[in-house]
Chains A and B, each alone.
Chain A
Amino acid sequence: MDRWFKIDNAGKIFRSVSNKSNTSIFRVAMIMTEPVQKDLLQEAVDIVIKRFPTLAVRLQQGVFWDFLDQNDKRLLVKVEEEYPCHPLKAEENNGYLIRVLYYNCRISVEIFHSLTDGTGAIEFIKTLGYQYLRLCGKDIEDEGLVLHPEELPNRYEMEDSFPKYYQPVQAKRQNEQRAFHIEGTLLEPFGTNTTHGVMSASGLNAIAKSSNATITEYLTAVLIHSIYSQNMKYGIYSKPIKVTIPVNLRRIFPSKTLRNFFTIVNVGVKPSEELSFEKILTSVSAELKEKTKKNNLNNVMASNIKLEKMLVARFVPVFIKNIFMRYGFENFGENAKTITLSNLGNTRLPSSMHKYVRQMEAIIYPTRKSPVNCGVCTVNDSLTVTFSRTIIDTGVIRSFFSFLALESGLEIKVYSNKWGKSL
Chain B
Amino acid sequence: MNKCNQCGIYIYGNDNKCPLCNKSVGELKDTYENEWYPAYNISEASTGKGMVKKVYLFIAITVISVCLLVNVLAGLENLWFLYVACPIMYLLLLINHTILSKVHTGMKIILQISSISVLLFTIDILSGFYRWSVNIVIPYLFIAGTLIITVIILRKKMLWKEYAGYIIAMIFLGFLPMLLYLTGVADTLWAAAISALYSFLTVIGMLIFANKRFKNEVTRRFHL
Contacts and interface: CB of A to CB of B under 8 A. Distances in A.
Interface in A100-121: 103-106
Nearest to B161: A69
A2 B161 CA distance: 10
B8, B18, B21, B35: residue with the most chain A Cβ atoms closer than 10 Å: B8
A397 B10 contact: no
B38, B41, B165, B216: residue with the most chain A Cβ atoms closer than 10 Å: B38
Contact of A417 (B11, B37, B42, B165): B37
A51 to B, nearest CB: 22
A38 to B, nearest CB: 14
B19 A195 contact: yes
B10, B17, B36: residue with the most chain A Cβ atoms closer than 10 Å: B36
Nearest to B13: A415
Given A198-B12, A401-B20, A415-B15, A4 B220 contact: yes
A209 interface: no
B44 interface: yes
B8 A402 contact: yes
Contact of A61 (B1, B36, B165): B165
Tell me if B's interface is mostly helix, strand, loop or mixed: loop
Contacts of B18: 414
Nearest to B4: A414
A415 B19 contact: yes
A325 interface: no
Contacts of B42: 189
A80 B35 CA distance: 13
B15, B19, B33, B224: residue with the most chain A Cβ atoms closer than 10 Å: B19
Interface residues of B, number: 36
Interface in A1-45: 2, 4, 6, 35
Nearest to B39: A418
A394 B42 CA distance: 21
Contact of B37 (A60, A197, A418): A418
Given A60-B220, A405-B9, A413-B10, A398 B37 contact: no
B220 A415 contact: no
A419 interface: yes
A415 B37 CA distance: 9
Interface string A168-191: 000000000000000000000101
A35 B35 CA distance: 11
Contacts of A418: 19, 37
Interface in B162-193: 165
B9 A414 contact: yes
B157 interface: no
Given A62-B222, A67-B223, A411 B10 contact: yes
B33 A414 contact: no
Contacts of B11: 413-415
Nearest to B213: A2
Interface in A40-71: 60-65, 67, 69
Contacts of A402: 7-9, 20
B209 interface: no
A80 B223 CA distance: 37
B10 A91 contact: no
B222 A417 contact: no
A314 interface: yes
Interface string B136-171: 000000000000000000000000010001000000
B19 A423 contact: yes
Contacts of A401: 7-9, 20
Nearest to A397: B20
A423 B17 contact: yes
B44 to A, nearest CB: 5
A2, A35, A415: residue with the most chain B Cβ atoms closer than 10 Å: A415
A359 to B, nearest CB: 10
A29 to B, nearest CB: 10
A195, A401, A416: residue with the most chain B Cβ atoms closer than 10 Å: A416
B221 interface: yes
A11 to B, nearest CB: 14
B58 interface: no
A65 B220 CA distance: 9
A320 interface: no
Contacts of A2: 161, 213, 216
A59 B13 CA distance: 39
Contacts of B13: 415
A232 interface: no
A315 B222 CA distance: 10
A415 B222 contact: no
Nearest to A412: B9
Interface of A: 2, 4, 6, 35, 60-65, 67, 69, 79-83, 91, 103-106, 189, 191, 195-198, 314-315, 394, 397-398, 401-402, 405-406, 411-419, 422-423
Given A69-B161, A315-B224, A422-B22, 8 more contacts: A60-B221, A61-B165, A83-B40, A394-B20, A402-B8, A412-B9, A413-B1, A416-B36
Closest 7 CB pairs of A and B: A405-B8, A413-B12, A416-B19, A398-B20, A417-B37, A415-B12, A406-B8
12 contacts: A60-B220, A60-B221, A62-B222, A80-B38, A198-B12, A314-B224, A394-B21, A401-B7, A414-B10, A415-B15, A416-B37, A417-B36
